[in-house]
Amino acid sequence: MTQRYLILADGSAYPGKAFGSLATTTGELVANSTMNGYQEIISNQIYHNQIIVFTQSSIGNTGLDQNAYESVLPSAKGVIVREYENLATDHFKRISLDRYLKQHRIPGIYDVDTREIRHRLQKYGNMMASIVDVADDHAFDQLHATVLTNQQVAQVATPKPYPNPDEGDNVVVVDFGLKSGILRELSRRNCNVTVVPWNSTSEMILDLDPDGIVLSTGPGAPSNLPESVLKMITEIQSQAPLFAIGLGHELFALANQAKVSKLRVEHHGANHPIREIITNEIFFSGQEQGYAVDPKSIDHAKLFITHVDLVNGTVQGLRHRDFPAFSVQFSPDGAPGPKDSVDLFDDFMEIMERRRDENGSRY
């Protein structure tokens, strides 16, 4: 067992034992407190350029499941955990966590006080960190000198469109770093999906005759994306039902002149109650959030808030006043996390259906 280090921008160094790849990496350190679904978390593209600290003390217990990947090529920069199990057991064919991380060149460190790190992040806010062999001045210099790319979406999203055919509604998914959970839910509803690149124009999208459009989740700051993306959104939102999730939600807000700001502490977990304002109902969902829509910046003539996080008060859902367009900050697909709000996909289906009825049957 090789000893390696997690070093933080504030100068602290955590010795631990290595697993997975032995690569040296740098990224933003974020804590995730979801108790299940380490596989879904690690393979989510939202963690591009991030090192994930699991607060759950032990991960790896069930190996990796062919049906639970959120992307084919994960892009997380590291995994920090108190204890990991190198198991490949149970009723599906699975590989072990260690092997998976090695395959994808993701380094891991275990045997560190993740609870202490969690406390540190809560106290001092988001922080850059590296996984290194030696915690010397050189390593810290490298860490301080590293500038992470702001082309994250371009690095993880598909460069070419591809279809996921079925016999139901035509849905175009704009990929900003799509998590498979969204496709899975659309598949369950027999949608005939076309996934298109993040930089597709509105013309390209609308030429596919969508019954509905999904703006996907993805990594990084929404402000990193060019103005053309916002333009595309304003052009499509009036033409077809729109459902935006995660980064998609943030872009939807920006396209409608709201502001988005970075959270002092990123929130990754499934423990915050989310209130649906109209029904006053509380539910839970996976949240992986580094940015939030500023509620004061919302133009109420255009958008209204549908969901709010009861703990940090962040906007969790928006709806357009004039168009059948709505968005959520959280992950209603429940991969991982509760499935309390999975019926938002049914709402989307219903909106598409209503829209079709209004416009006269296409068939």
Partner 1 sequence: MAVDINKVLLLGGGPTSIGHENELDAAAYERLIALKKTGAQIIYVDDNPFSVTSEEVQPANVYVQQVNFKNVVNIIEKEHPDAIMATTGGLNAMQIAWQLSESGVLTSNNINLLGIKPADLRKVIDNEKLRDLLTEINERVIASRIVADDTEAMDFVREVGFPVIVKPISASHDTSRFICNNTDELEDALDVSFKRAYIKRCSIEQSIVGYKEIEMVGIRDANGNKLLISGLEDMDPIGIHSGDSIIFAPTQTLINEEYQALRTATFRIMDSLNVTGTCHVQFAQSRTDSNYFVTKVSPFFTRNTLLAAKATGYPLTYVASFLELGYGFTEIKLPAKYSKYTPFMEPTMDHVLVRIPLWPFRDINDVDQHLNTLMKSVGSTIGVGRTVEEAIIKSMHSSQFSPRDILPSVSKVDDDDVINQLIHPLASRILILMEALRRGFSIDELSELTRIDRFYFYKLNQLLRAQDFVINHPLSPQSVQVGHKYGFGDGMLAELWNVNIAQITRMNQNVNHQVTYKEIEPSAGEFLEATNIFYSSYELENESKPFAEKTALVIGRGGNQLGPNSAADYYTAQILISLKKVGYKTLIMNTNPNVVSLTPQLSDKQYIEPIQLGNILNIINLDRPDVIFLPGNRHYLSKQLKQFADLNIIVLPPDQKVAHYKRHSATTAVDLFIQGKEIIPVTSLSFFNHHNRNDLHHLNDYQEPMIDWQKDESLIMQQAIKTTNPSEWQGLVQVLFNKTNSGDYICTGIRPVRITETAFLTKTTGINWINVLVKKYLGILDMASLREQLKPIAHKRYSIMTAHFPFKQLQSNRKEGTTRQEVGAALSFENFIN
Which residues are designated catalytic?
333
Query: Is 247 labelled as part of a ligand binding site?
Result: yes
Name which of 57 and 150 has its Cβ closer to partner 1.
57
Q: How far is the CB of 285 from partner 1 (least distance, A)?
A: 10
State the Cα angle at 62 between 56 and 63, rounded to 5°: 105
Q: How far is the CB of 237 from partner 1 (least distance, A)?
A: 31
Name which of 212 and 334 has its Cβ closer to partner 1.
334
Query: Is 360 labelled as part of a ligand binding site?
Result: no
CB 299 within 8 A of CB 320: no
d(CA 255, CA 169) in angstroms, rounded, equals 25
Return the closest-CA partner of residue 93 out of 68, 59, 73, 70: 68
Query: Is 291 labelled as part of a ligand binding site?
Result: yes
- What secondary structure does DSSP assign to 140-189, as a single string? HHHHHH----S-HHHHHS-SS-EEE--SS-EEEEEESS--HHHHHHHHHT
Name which of 30 and 253 has its Cβ closer to partner 1.
30
Q: How far is the CB of 6 from partner 1 (least distance, A)?
A: 12
Q: How far is the CB of 131 from partner 1 (least distance, A)?
A: 18
Show Cβ contacts of residue 183 under 8 Å, excluding neighbours closer than 6 positions. Answer: 164, 173, 193, 195
Q: How far is the CB of 35 from partner 1 (least distance, A)?
A: 5
- Whole-angstrom CA distances from 86 to 30, 61, 62, 167 are 23, 7, 9, 41
Q: How far is the CB of 292 from partner 1 (least distance, A)?
A: 16
The binding site for partner 1 (CB under 8 A) comprises: 14, 31, 33-37, 39-40, 55-58, 61-62, 65, 67-68, 82-83, 85, 87, 89-91, 111, 113-116, 118-119, 122, 269-273, 280-284, 310-311, 334-340
Name which of 283 and 323 has its Cβ closer to partner 1.
283
Tokens 């969204």 — which residue? 182
Name which of 302 and 339 has its Cβ closer to partner 1.
339
Name which of 37 and 78 has its Cβ closer to partner 1.
37
State whether the Cα torsion 203-207-213-218 is positive or negative. Answer: negative
Query: Is 317 labelled as part of a ligand binding site?
Result: no
d(CA 240, CA 112) in angstroms, rounded, equals 49
336: preceding bond cis by omega (within 30 degrees): yes
Query: Is 218 labelled as part of a ligand binding site?
Result: yes
d(CA 107, CA 123) in angstroms, rounded, equals 26
- Burial (CB count within 10 angstroms: exposed 0-12, middle 13-18, buried 19+), residue 259: middle
Binding residues: 218, 220, 247, 290-291
Which residues participate in the annotated binding site for L-glutamine? Answer: 218, 220, 247, 290-291
